[in-house]
């Protein structure tokens, strides 16, 4: 479980997060949505321990983030940022990086680390590229490799910043199904999604952010019926069975 309590943070003197509070329960997918620049990535970075808070608190499994050592935090939370380097490395070697928080000084992988790496590669369907150079893969294929690395890290909390970017629609659904399946393993998933229709379909909880604040938080149905999503994004949202569609607001 991840608890954000009255979190304030920013860059230099510019405040971005303004007293953000919400709880991401274990075994649930929580999705952050909001207009560009509202602070979604900043919040994920703070939750990953990469950006100190100005005030407020972030608790992971009931323990404040600053109380974690680097190694403890790496064993507790995996972060898949949006912008990543593309190093000259094989797929398998990159996924092995997910095990580093568990290794001793020699960084030698134990049999259980090998199993975790293979399991993660199988789970996201990248095992067939194990020996390929990461640079030879498409953006979407690479995205899945980075997700495999995050899974190999075997953490309770997984933070994902726009994981479906670069994927074609079919692969987007595949990846989101996979992420939604993680909740069955008791993981706490917090992700940023641009696509409101996907957010509505695949989240247990949506946190709607605007201007550095969490303006509403609740199950998808609640955010939809309150009209808050339509208001903040200036769109109209319709529903067709399990699926949602986003259309221009009347008069646009
Ligand atoms: P979102 O993810 O919702 O699009 P961000 O959290 O990326 O929003 O950005 C929120 C605000 O913080 C924006 O005004 C952005 O320009 C600013 N910002 C983001 N990263 C930095 C940074 N490294 N240094 C200074 N300002 C930043």
pLDDT tens, 193-247? 999 999 999 999 999 999 999 999 999 999 999 999 999 999 999 988 888 999 9
pLDDT tens, 15-73? 999 999 999 999 999 999 999 999 999 999 999 999 999 999 999 999 999 999 999 99
Cβ–ligand 1 contact at 11 (below 6 Å): yes
Structural tokens at position 144: 């899945």
Answer yes or no: are the C-beta atoms of 4 and 22 closer than 8 Å.
yes
Tokens 């290794």 locate to: 103
Cβ–ligand 1 contact at 105 (below 6 Å): no
How many whole angstroms from 27 Cα to the centroid of ligand 1? 29
* Shortest-distance atom of ligand 1 to CA 12: 25
Give the residue, by CA position, lying nearest to ligand 1 atom 13.
37
**Residue 246: Cβ-neighbour burial (10 angstroms; 0-12, 13-18, 19+):** middle
Count other C-beta atoms under 10 Å from residue 69's C-beta: 8
Structural tokens at position 169: 């629609």
Phi, psi of 64 (to 5 degrees): -60, 140
């Amino acid at each position: 479980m991840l608890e954000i309590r009255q979190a304030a943070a920013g860059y230099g003197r510019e405040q971005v997060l303004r007293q953000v509070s919400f709880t991401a329960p274990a075994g649930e997918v929580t999705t952050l949505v909001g207009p560009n620049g509202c602070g979604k990535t900043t919040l994920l970075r703070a939750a990953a321990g990469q950006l100190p808070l100005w005030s407020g608190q972030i608790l992971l499994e009931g323990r404040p983030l600053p109380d974690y050592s680097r190694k403890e935090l790496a064993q507790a939370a995996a972060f898949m940022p949006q912008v990543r380097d593309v190093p000259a490395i094989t797929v398998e070697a990159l996924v092995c990086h997910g095990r580093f928080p568990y290794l001793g000084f020699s960084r030698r992988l134990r049999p259980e680390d090998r199993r975790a790496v293979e399991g993660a590669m199988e789970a996201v369907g990248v095992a067939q590229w194990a020996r390929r150079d990461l640079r030879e893969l498409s953006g979407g294929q690479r995205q899945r490799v980075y997700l495999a690395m995050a899974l190999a890290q075997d953490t309770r909390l997984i933070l994902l910043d726009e994981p479906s970017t670069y994927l074609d629609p079919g692969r987007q659904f595949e990846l989101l199904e996979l992420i939604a399946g993680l909740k069955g393993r008791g993981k706490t998933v917090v992700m940023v999604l641009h696509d409101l229709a996907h957010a509505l379909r695949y989240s247990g909880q949506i946190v709607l952010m605007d201007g550095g604040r969490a303006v509403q938080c609740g199950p998808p149905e609640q955010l939809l019926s309150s009209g808050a999503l339509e208001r903040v994004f200036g769109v109209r949202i319709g529903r067709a069975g399990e699926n949602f569609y986003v259309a221009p607001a009347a008069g646009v």
